[in-house]
Amino acid sequence: MSLTVAKILKGVEQLNYELSTETRLVRAGQKETQETEAIMKRHEWLASLSVAKLVQAQLNRARDPDERERLERLYFTCTGLYTYHKLARLDDQLQTGLANHKVRLDGEQVPYYNLSPRLQNEPDFNKREALGAAMDGVHRKFNPEKLAMVQRDLQILRRDLGYKSYIAYCEAQKQFDYEKFIVILSESGHRTALLFRDHMARWVTGKLGRPFRTPEGKPALQRWHVSHLMKLGDFDARFPKNEMLPTLFGSLRRMGIDLKAKKNVKLDLEERDKKNPRACLFAAKIPQEIHLLLKPVGGLQDYETFMHEAGHALHFAFSDSKLPYEYRHMSRSNALTETYAFLLQNITLDALWLEETMHMSRKLAERIRYYRVLCDLYMYRRYIAKLRSEFAFFRQHEQKGQAALGDGKIYSRTLTEYTGFIYQPGGYLFDMDEGFYSADYLRAWVGEAQLADYLQRNFSERWWADKRAGKFLVDLWRSASTQEAEQVLGGLGCPALDTACLERRFTDLESLES
């Protein structure tokens, strides 16, 4: 077959669709065994080094900026497919093993993916300790498989693709300076440290009846307990499961956005035993076929999770189908779509929205906002620590080689320092997302606060009930992933990576009812 860029692009589109469908079915609990290796085998020609090099050669000859941008996105997609093909068998084994792994607790065989939701909902402190220890045991058991994948990935990047390090590859792909961003985040982390410590200590003591720190000033609690705290179960009765969809669909309609009428968005809300409880979105074909997966249980966290995934869904569902495939499916990073996801999610922390939509008193609405903002501050600091530890992990490999990879001590120390909860070293690989996704999330946190501030200033503090704001967002979504988050926000007059709006939201903790 005579290879051309057009044929490669068409092949990528078909392969991505098949992989998205396969991983979605396993994630949804509709398939027990993940078989991406077989899919990759059918498209083996595409996941080859020669294809990536052909695109690279075309890129080197291109002079038009738009052509270069599209070719560069295709090049990194091809290098990703090449790497994924090499790792497909290992990934299939790992995902199948996790999906079918069970832990024995109190005489019951509990599926691995059921441990996390049980941990969130378990009121007994000692039982949470047991659940957390069980999860940690699973992580230690499967860590060798995770590590083998990381080692193989790094070997491919250096030997086959010619990158000196994982950091260099990610910076080239995303055109982003991680070290510069880490400096900005470290300063922000320093500014929010005292605020976080004081309010989290008060919450832990009041809710768990345990001290946040030891008499010596060291963290006193394992990280397992924070997921129970952040579930905000005390408020679950105010967010009933059977009213979730009508409430949230209705809320979006106030902005003139009818998600229910978007037939290209397919909702999977079924409760299957082997369904991964972590909500997610599969954009199989943008904008024609978008799948939103959620295992609904009710409660505030379910409402906000649904809205988060709805933000992704709307971004993709409203994308202009006439845009080139590269601008619909091949974003440089995920920072922009996560910005839109956080924007919709955080409607649920707005006290006015809680009053009007959930029919709450101002006092209760502000109390919920208080805890939601505190949860966000925890997550923000957790992800600063994640990015720092992941960057250090790969920097260590760059300097010392493969021998430096088998140690989670940097992760444990950094996460514990930033969150105040004890993180065990064994979880470091399971807490690591591909391609510094932690940075994408952090860029989105910063960007969402800026976008929300823009909407409040240019529409009203109730922008989520303003059809003009809805139209404004739809117009933003139409451009798909043509630009990165900082470019889109820069067009609205927002300084790149400026944490001021986000930090102002955190300082609300001082005035809100706790």
Task: Tell me, yes or no, whether 273 and 316 share the same domain.
Answer: yes
* Residue 390 belongs to a domain: no
Task: Tell me, yes or no, whether 128 and 13 share the same domain.
Answer: yes
Question: Degrees (nearest 5) of the Cα angle 454, 457, 463?
Answer: 80
- Stretch 14-23: mean pLDDT, rounded? 94
**Two tokens at 243?**
């009213």
- Stretch 143-161: mean pLDDT, rounded? 93
| C-alpha separations of 65 from 50, 59, 60, 71, 324 in Å | 24, 10, 12, 10, 14
Higher pLDDT, 148 or 276: 148
- Stretch 459-487: mean pLDDT, rounded? 97
Question: Which residue carries 């045991």 as its tokens?
Answer: 137
Indicate the residue among 174, 197, 232 that finishes a domain: 174
Task: Tell me, yes or no, whether 341 and 449 share the same domain.
Answer: yes
pLDDT band at 400 (very low <50, low <70, confident <90, very high): confident
pLDDT for the residue numbered 481: 97
pLDDT band at 40 (very low <50, low <70, confident <90, very high): confident
pLDDT for the residue numbered 1: 52
Nearest 5°: phi and psi at 222?
A: -70, 155
Under 8 Å between Cβ of 94 and 146: yes
Indicate the residue among 152, 174, 196 that finishes a domain: 174
- In the predicted model, is pLDDT for residue 510 greater than 90? yes
Question: Which residue carries 């619909």 as its tokens?
Answer: 328
* Residue 414 belongs to a domain: no
pLDDT for the residue numbered 84: 87
Task: Tell me, yes or no, whether 283 and 377 share the same domain.
Answer: yes
pLDDT for the residue numbered 146: 93
Q: Say how many residues make up the chain.
A: 514
**Two tokens at 373?**
């903002």
Give the chain's mean pLDDT: 93
- Stretch 119-123: mean pLDDT, rounded? 89
pLDDT band at 402 (very low <50, low <70, confident <90, very high): low
Task: Tell me, yes or no, whether 231 and 122 share the same domain.
Answer: no
Task: Tell me, yes or no, whether 125 and 230 share the same domain.
Answer: no
Give the whole-angstrom CA distance, residue 433 versus residue 334. 12
Give the whole-angstrom CA distance, residue 221 versus residue 204. 9
Q: What is the DSSP letter of 209?
A: S
Under 8 Å between Cβ of 212 and 199: no
Give the whole-angstrom CA distance, residue 452 versus residue 299. 24
Q: Any idea what the CATH number is for the domain that residue 365 is in?
A: 1.10.1370.40
Which helix (H) or strand (E) segment holds residue 292: the answer is: strand 289-293
The residues pairing with 268 across neighbouring beta strands, listed in sequence order, are 293
| C-alpha separations of 495 from 96, 346, 452 in Å | 44, 21, 14
- In the predicted model, is pLDDT for residue 9 greater than 70? yes
What share of the chain has pLDDT > 90, as a percent? 82
Under 8 Å between Cβ of 68 and 24: no
Higher pLDDT, 276 or 367: 367
**Two tokens at 155?**
């070997």
pLDDT for the residue numbered 149: 93
Residue in 412, 348, 416 with CA at minimum distance from that of residue 376: 348
- For the stretch 226-249, pLDDT in tens is 999 998 989 999 999 999 989 989
pLDDT for the residue numbered 456: 97
Give the whole-angstrom CA distance, residue 476 versus residue 488. 8
pLDDT band at 88 (very low <50, low <70, confident <90, very high): confident
* Residue 471 belongs to a domain: yes
Under 8 Å between Cβ of 448 and 343: yes
Task: Tell me, yes or no, whether 374 and 505 share the same domain.
Answer: yes
Task: Tell me, yes or no, whether 141 and 214 share the same domain.
Answer: no
**Two tokens at 357?**
């939509």
Number of domain units in the chain: 2
* Residue 415 belongs to a domain: no
Task: Tell me, yes or no, whether 57 and 143 share the same domain.
Answer: yes
Which helix (H) or strand (E) segment holds residue 109: the answer is: strand 108-111
pLDDT for the residue numbered 297: 79
What share of the chain has pLDDT > 70, as a percent? 98
Task: Tell me, yes or no, whether 240 and 150 share the same domain.
Answer: no
- For the stretch 318-374, pLDDT in tens is 999 999 999 999 999 999 999 999 999 999 999 999 999 999 999 999 999 999 999
Give the whole-angstrom CA distance, residue 510 versus residue 240. 30
pLDDT for the residue numbered 457: 97
pTM: 0.93
Indicate the residue among 151, 174, 197 that finishes a domain: 174
Helices (H), 28-103: 36-42, 49-61, 65-100
* Residue 405 belongs to a domain: no
* Residue 407 belongs to a domain: no
* Helix %, strand %, coil % of the chain (to 5): 70, 5, 25
- In the predicted model, is pLDDT for residue 376 greater than 90? yes
Higher pLDDT, 210 or 275: 210
Residue ranges making up the domain that contains 62: 5-174
- In the predicted model, is pLDDT for residue 447 greater than 60? yes
Give the whole-angstrom CA distance, residue 427 versus residue 261. 41
* Residue 392 belongs to a domain: no
Task: Tell me, yes or no, whether 156 and 192 share the same domain.
Answer: no
Residue in 452, 463, 466, 247 with CA at minimum distance from that of residue 357: 247
**Lowest-confidence region among 112-126, 392-406, 409-423, 444-458:** 392-406
* Residue 320 belongs to a domain: yes
Beta-strand relationship, 265-268 and 102-105 = unpaired
Task: Tell me, yes or no, whether 159 and 297 share the same domain.
Answer: no
Residue in 305, 287, 288 with CA at minimum distance from that of residue 296: 305
